[in-house]
Amino acid sequence: MKRYEPSRDSSIRLSDGRALAYAEWGDHEGRPVFFFHGMPGSRSFVPDPDAAAEEHVRLISADRPGMGRSDPQPGHATGDWPADLVALADALGLDRFGVVGWSAGTCYVFARAAVIPERLTGAAATTSAAAMRYLFDQDEEIREQLIDDDEREILAILHEQGREAAERRLADEAAEWVRGIAEHPEQMVEGGDSGDEWFLEDADRKAAFELMAETYQATAAAMAKLRETDLAWIAGDRSVTAAERAGAVLLAAAGEFRIAHAFLSGNRADQGLRTALTTVAALERGLQAAPTEHAALWGAMNLVGAVLAIRANAEDVARDCMRKAEQAAQRIGEDRNDFHTEFGPTNVALHAVSVSVELGDAGEALRRAATIDASGLSTERRASLLIDVARAYGQRRKTAEAVRTLQEAESLTPEQVRNHPLVREMVRDLLRGERRSVHPDLRALARRVGVLPETAR
């Protein structure tokens, strides 16, 4: 199988200090086009560099935040990517350029077209789910050409047995795929399509399994945020298996952290709490002499354990987990991101506010929130803190303060606030509490979060 090497493999430093890695392929003097990789993926994968050279295209691929050699961006959203891309284009001296996305990268093409159309010479989406859906709906002949026998079988199950049966079948197939790759990671390279070598370049078995475990953990985190609980659990479980095969104990524990979050996302608090407490107990062995990343992971597991314990109505367990998390934060003394857990004193303080709200102790929540310096937090985490503060105000029936705080959160991350189930629940509760006239800002907020219809007055 042919192995491609980029003509340039480098990185830039963004204004917030993050590194953004990129690679160049094709004709350096040709038409500039940015290529957005899929998920998982990196700058090292492009479909056909030879074709780019033949067509006189300067193809530039960049690692999105947290992938490849690009630094993570806490709270990263699709709409954040245009700013990074503009910074890279400016650094390369490119005024206008084309963009093309592959698979999961296509959503970033749409974001670019919406946010910076004046910089684009063209935009294209390849293997896009949205484009495939359009073709499926528009042309039966094309639909038959695009799908294979396995997909026809899934469609038949969907039509004959319903959505749940089709989802179960897809989940089973996903589990089988994950299991096969965990047991034989070399199959991602050997016998694969040209370009698959981006996934595993090191033949060393230990390094291969470690990379596989980290990839599954990233997938599990993404699926949990999307509320795809079963897929998150499968990816987390495969991560643990891969880490164990690599002999990486802490990496395996980090996989359990992702499984606990999958259970939290799926409202399976009892199962998640058992996972968290079992992992906490395992990490406590040798904790005193353990390295910092060990203590950080132990602290992070206690944080998720505290939240799960609240959901499982185990308040004493929640308080014990918070106490241990605070001990870990004091020992570490700084904010870290070991195994992408973002554990440190700040995260513990944020969770303490959230747990106090969940316990109904609004006064304690507000007191703790007042001590947090939110200036260094990502917009997503600042918004999450503000939502908890608003909930505390709501518990005290301080409607004006709750609405004002939610408006501040909404100005930071509108989609997060408007789609948050706890925000909707709080707004409904505030509306019920307004016995005479409803606060006008509350009514407007209720319409924006979908609690009241747009036509409501």
How confident is the model over 230-259, as a mean pLDDT?
A: 87
The amino acid at residue 206 is K
| Rounded Cα distance, 418 and 214, in Å | 31
How confident is the model over 349-366, as a mean pLDDT?
A: 91
Give the rounded distance of the alpha carbon of 138 from its chain centre. Answer: 32
pLDDT attached to residue 316:
92
Angle, helix 440-448 to helix 399-412, in steps of 10 degrees = 40
Both tokens assigned to 457: 């007055």
pLDDT attached to residue 406:
92
C-beta atoms surrounding 24 within 10 Å:
21
Both tokens assigned to 113: 């077209």
pLDDT attached to residue 198:
37
pLDDT attached to residue 22:
94
pLDDT at 180 over 70: no
Degrees (nearest 5) of the Cα angle 132, 136, 137? 120
How confident is the model over 78-85, as a mean pLDDT?
A: 83
| Rounded Cα distance, 254 and 338, in Å | 9
Give the rounded distance of the alpha carbon of 322 from its chain centre. Answer: 24
Q: Pick the closest to residue 219 from 21, 41, 74, 37 (CA basis).
A: 41
| Rounded Cα distance, 377 and 52, in Å | 41
C-beta atoms surrounding 402 within 10 Å:
25
Work out the pLDDT band at 1, boundaries 50, 70, 90.
very low
Both tokens assigned to 417: 């606030």
pLDDT at 79 over 90: no
Q: Give the list of residues 6+ apart from residue 174 with CB closer than 8 angstroms, or none.
A: 231, 234
| Rounded Cα distance, 54 and 409, in Å | 49
pLDDT attached to residue 265:
83
| Rounded Cα distance, 34 and 98, in Å | 6
pLDDT > 90: percent of the chain:
32
Work out the pLDDT band at 364, boundaries 50, 70, 90.
very high
Residue 439, exposed/middle/buried by CB under 10 A (0-12, 13-18, 19+)? middle
In three-state secondary structure terms, 347 is helix
Residue whose entry in the numeric block shows the structure tokens 């609240």: 310
In three-state secondary structure terms, 348 is helix
C-beta atoms surrounding 431 within 10 Å:
17
pLDDT attached to residue 96:
93
Work out the pLDDT band at 288, boundaries 50, 70, 90.
confident
Residue 315, exposed/middle/buried by CB under 10 A (0-12, 13-18, 19+)? middle
pLDDT attached to residue 188:
43
Work out the pLDDT band at 420, boundaries 50, 70, 90.
confident
pLDDT at 44 over 90: no
pLDDT at 196 over 70: no
pLDDT at 436 over 80: no
pLDDT at 190 over 70: no
Give the rounded distance of the alpha carbon of 42 from its chain centre. Answer: 16
**Who wins on pLDDT, 178 or 84?**
84
Work out the pLDDT band at 327, boundaries 50, 70, 90.
very high
pLDDT attached to residue 380:
81
For the ranges 120-129, 202-211, 369-378, the one whose mean pLDDT is highest: 369-378
pLDDT at 119 over 50: yes
In three-state secondary structure terms, 228 is coil
Distances in whole angstroms, Cα of residue 306 to Cα of each of 280, 322, 325, 355: 11, 6, 9, 7
DSSP-derived letter for residue 339 is G
**Who wins on pLDDT, 407 or 107?**
407
pLDDT > 70: percent of the chain:
82
pLDDT attached to residue 197:
36
What order of strands is seen across the sheet that includes strand 31-36? Answer: 8-13, 19-26, 57-62, 31-36, 97-102, 120-126
Residue 59, exposed/middle/buried by CB under 10 A (0-12, 13-18, 19+)? buried
CB 34 within 8 A of CB 85: yes
How confident is the model over 349-369, as a mean pLDDT?
A: 91
Work out the pLDDT band at 455, boundaries 50, 70, 90.
low
CB 165 within 8 A of CB 157: yes
- For the chain, how far is it from start to end, CA to CA, in angstroms? 65
pLDDT attached to residue 407:
92
Both tokens assigned to 371: 């001590």
The amino acid at residue 172 is D
Both tokens assigned to 302: 């206690």
DSSP-derived letter for residue 299 is H
Q: Give the list of residues 6+ apart from residue 21 with CB closer than 8 angstroms, or none.
A: 9, 10, 11, 43, 62, 63, 68, 69, 70
Q: Which domains does the chain have, with CATH numbers?
A: 8-141 (3.40.50.1820), 200-413 (1.25.40.10)
Mean pLDDT of the chain: 81
How confident is the model over 166-178, as a mean pLDDT?
A: 64
**Who wins on pLDDT, 158 or 262?**
262
| Rounded Cα distance, 83 and 176, in Å | 38
